[in-house]
Structure 1
């Protein structure tokens, strides 16, 4: 299976990542990708950018080094009510919005609390993708989460970084989420979660996992630029509604 886009990457603006936006685009070009999303952490993350950073992303060109560039965010879920750390005023101007649990930003909770928070996030029409839901620090009910993802047309991510360099202990949970998503007919997305340019487009471990679960390209969002653009248009992203 060939993927054409990396929809989860971080630049130096995230505060704990190590490459510029240009370096990320250059890496995407070297990997043979057609699209990359710059999804820096939201303001609640220590060292992360102020909200104004996201408001000013419109100055970025839509193409760098021949790569189509999406201007986005990986927002932080900040409470059990499913609130995130950037207002709708800014979110609606972006091309793509990811959201997930992160230490320091989210208080943690029981499986029931985490599941409820994640579902509330998916009820937010501004959120497109739930990232690294297999994090063992925040257990969830996979069936309830996947059911909500289908209901609210929100993508569930299988995160390559969780299987390789971060969030140790995620593998079993990610396998279960992939299996449940396949069983329920949900669509998914694969992200590198690159915090350095050398990891951009690194999908190998997550690809192996979803193929073992029986996924085909039809159910993987970033296997096609047309699917990505159609989906973001359905979600009301202005760049793809107007385009």
Structure 2
């Protein structure tokens, strides 16, 4: 499966990542990506930038090293109500919002609580994708969450780092279950390297292989073309990005 968008990447601004956005864009160009989502951790993650970092992304050029730049965030889910750690003023400046559960911010709880949390995140309307759902510390009921994601056009991320065994250990089994059932339900999938160093940009081989294993239709993998990704954002109610007119 040919992936041309990396929808989950970090820069040095996240506090525990080691490359700049310029370095990430250069690596993206060298690896054949067409679009790069820059998604630093939102403020409640230890070491993360102030919310001005996200509100000010409007100053970023739309292209760096001939790669289209999507202004994004990996927001932290705060509570069972599905609230995120960004003020309302931030969303108008962002093209792409991932919501994730992170142990330093959201203490793992019960299957029931995790399930209701994810459903409330989806229904909030603020989130375009759910990040690294395979984390075994946050088990949830797959069917209601995936069906809710389908209903509200929220993408399910297949996170390559989760499949390496180096982070969120044990995620591979859960990710496999999510992709298998998600394919049956008909959710949209997105793929992210979760790069914290530029050399990890576009490292999506494991995510791609998992999607292929379950014969997921490319039309449901929004990162397989610039048109699919950008039109998914329109489906989500985002404004058209005129600088990317040739990519729709």
Matches within 5 A, 1:37-116: 37-116=37-116
**Which segments of 5 or more consecutive residues in structure 2 lack a partner in the other structure?**
none
Q: Which residue pairs with 1:190 in the alignment?
A: 191
- Counterpart of 2:183 in 1: which secondary structure? helix
1:86-123 deviation line (CA, Å, top 9, x unaligned): 02210122111011100111122101100110111111
Task: Report how far residue 209 of structure 1 moved.
Answer: 1.1
Cα distance in 1 for partners of 2:210, 2:48 equals: 31
Cα distance in 2 for partners of 1:128, 1:241 equals: 20
Cα distance in 2 for partners of 1:218, 1:151 equals: 17
Q: Which residue pairs with 2:170 in the alignment?
A: 169
- Number of residue pairs matched? 243
Q: Which residue pairs with 2:241 in the alignment?
A: 240
Cα distance in 1 for partners of 2:99, 2:144 equals: 17
Cα distance in 1 for partners of 2:242, 2:79 equals: 31
Cα distance in 1 for partners of 2:152, 2:242 equals: 18
1:68-95 deviation line (CA, Å, top 9, x unaligned): 0001000000111111100221012211
Q: Which residue pairs with 2:120 in the alignment?
A: 120
Greater Cα offset, 228-237 or 7-16:
228-237
Q: Report the TM-score when normalising by structure 1.
A: 0.97
Contact 1:95–1:239 (Cα < 8 Å) also in 2: no
Cα distance in 2 for partners of 1:43, 1:4 equals: 29
Runs of 4+ in 1 over 6 A off after TM superposition: none
Cα distance in 2 for partners of 1:118, 1:142 equals: 10
Q: Which residue pairs with 1:130 in the alignment?
A: 130
Cα distance in 2 for partners of 1:162, 1:33 equals: 21
Q: Which residue pairs with 1:202 in the alignment?
A: 203
Task: Report how far residue 237 of structure 1 moved.
Answer: 2.1
Cα distance in 1 for partners of 2:242, 2:142 equals: 31
Contact 1:5–1:33 (Cα < 8 Å) also in 2: yes
Q: Which residue pairs with 2:231 in the alignment?
A: 230
Cα distance in 2 for partners of 1:214, 1:153 equals: 20
- Counterpart of 2:241 in 1: which secondary structure? helix
- Counterpart of 1:69 in 2: which secondary structure? strand
Q: Which residue pairs with 1:142 in the alignment?
A: 142
